[in-house]
Chain A
Amino acid sequence: MNYWPLLGVLVVILGFALRLNPMLVVVAAGLASGIAAGLPPGDLLSLLGESFLSSRTLLLFVLTLPTIGLLERAGLREHAQAWVAGLRGLTLARLLVAYLALRQCLCMLGLVDLGGHAQTVRPLLAPMAEAAAQRGQPQLAAAQREEVKALAAATENVARFFGEDVFIAFGAVLLIQAFLARNGIVLEPLAIALWALPTAVAAFLIHATRLVLFQRRLRRDARPHAGAGADAAS
């Protein structure tokens, strides 16, 4: 067994720890691993090129950018904010928990592409979350504003990851099935997908609880600020 290719893993860990540019770290790690495995430079470049070209689908989210950009220019984010600000009962926690539940259910039905960071989080969910948080606390500090937006993105990820695995035709389930079948264990996709259900429920409960707690913390922090804000206004 040649353990030298593990150098690539070391490069990744060191590079991220030292906060070097991730693009540079990743290419350096690939080159380190390839050289350590004794690949000739020509083969290594060829492997890098082929792998890069084969994963072009990962950049296809750019196709959504013209639409999102046009709508933003026309004020989509401001409009989403104004709309949420008018809905009295819609708190930050309620908005994000509702998104979590809806998105998780849609992913379980295989409708993963109904949402995403470029399609829904940037133009809609993040500004709405900001507006909802702002109604509870008008003087939202810049750091808290960032936390709210990051939490909106996190909610999208949690909902997606722990929803899509329950859908039988999803890649992960098919990958598990194919891998086990190759090793002599033949199963129906449904037999695999159903085991993801308890963790999906746990993911919802844990993340929803965190959202509620986050909102409570925002409100607690708001009280002293609110007093100071009222003084400044008078």
Chain B
Amino acid sequence: MLRLEHIYWLAALLLGSAVVIDLRARRWAHAAFWLLLALMFAGGDAVLAAARTGQRLPQQAVGAGVVVLALLAAFGLRRDGPAARAGDRGDARPGHRLFLPALLIPVLTAGLVLAAPHLRWGDTPLLPREQVTLGALALACALSTVAALRVTRARAVAALRENHRLLDTIGWAAVLPMLLAALGNVFAATGVGEAVAQLVAAVIPVDNRIACLAAYALGMALFTAIMGNAFAAFPVLTGGIALPLLVGRHGADAAALGSLGMLAGYCGTLLTPMAANFNLVPAALLELSHPNAVIRAQVPTALALFAVNFVLMYLLVFR
């Protein structure tokens, strides 16, 4: 029933409403930025389908559009938009009832995910089978918006205006996670990972198991910091260092090594601006004056945890 592309269309509508508001405010660069993005969300699946049948031009156009997005972000968007003002408040003081729609999003999402196997229309499942969580999230967001309109007694257009205000606050940081994921793919396709693994393997004394373990753990943290994603680092370093050297040569336990290696990578995620959705987007969402403020708050935890994780690795993988 509900397919993933419908959810993308919904996002495209929200982005499109921001375009209209920016056009009316004569903020041309902002309007162009969100318009490009709205088009990519609305037509994305058609573009990918065309590429599968050999039509590569639309996909190349999207690639060029991504470059334009980056240029607009760097030179077009101003941080202090005049449109980013909260509207005037009504007299209503809804009190604790305000918490309700906010809690509705997570509770409904979780509930829908759990109930998904039973939610069907005839023979078709209500939520997209491979992306149940996203389908549940989209449905929960739609329902909670209705609830929020009722609780606050605002008009429907206010929802779009508030959406624009928050989008404007976050700005290009909202798009950075997508761009970083794309960069990860480009790095993977161009063999960056293998090159790093080869370099690391070439410099460590392979007969020393602590040196190998340190190379793996540090490599996971460092490569995760560079790629912004432990999932991208894991196959490269586990294939390049952990399996041949630690499991093959020194007899390490693969289950513990893989699990703790991934966690070493997570320590790197806490330290890097490349993990934009966890580190830069919240700084923008909370309107912090320094984009790296969240990373700074995480540094001591990440370093101490890396050390503890490394000791655990040594104790658990060489039992």
A residues adjacent to B (C-beta < 8 A)? 1-3, 5-6, 8-9, 12-13, 16, 20-24, 26-27, 29-31, 33-34, 36-37, 39, 42, 44-60, 62-76, 79-80, 83, 111, 113-115, 117-124, 126, 146-147, 149-154, 156-158, 161-162, 165, 171-173, 175-176, 179-180, 183, 185, 187, 191-196, 198-199, 202-203, 206-207, 210
Contacts and interface: CB of A to CB of B under 8 A. Distances in A.
A9 B61 CA distance: 25
A156 B69 CA distance: 29
A150 B294 contact: yes
8 cross-chain pairs, A with B, having the tightest CB-CB distances, nearest first: A69-B162, A45-B63, A49-B62, A49-B63, A55-B181, A51-B185, A37-B190, A51-B182
What DSSP secondary structure best describes chain A's contact surface? helix
Interface string B176-210: 11111111111101111011101100000000000
A114 B109 CA distance: 8
A20 B172 CA distance: 14
A178 to B, nearest CB: 10
A10 B93 CA distance: 54
A195 B63 contact: no
Contacts of B59: 45-46, 49-50, 53
B56 interface: yes
B8 A74 contact: no
B81 to A, nearest CB: 15
B183 A150 contact: no
Contacts, number: 410
14 contacts: A2-B195, A6-B195, A12-B226, A51-B186, A52-B181, A55-B181, A59-B175, A60-B7, A68-B162, A150-B293, A150-B296, A162-B305, A195-B259, A202-B308
A120 B98 contact: no
A171 to B, nearest CB: 7
Contacts of B281: 117
B138 A60 contact: yes
B117 interface: no
B19 interface: no
B314 interface: no
Contacts of B297: 147, 150-151, 153-154
A76 B163 contact: no
Nearest to A63: B141
A171 B154 contact: no
A62 B235 CA distance: 31
B154 A70 contact: yes
A80 B103 CA distance: 13
Contact of B183 (A26, A45, A120): A26
Contact of A187 (B64, B131, B254, B269): B254
Contacts of A123: 102
B166 A69 contact: yes
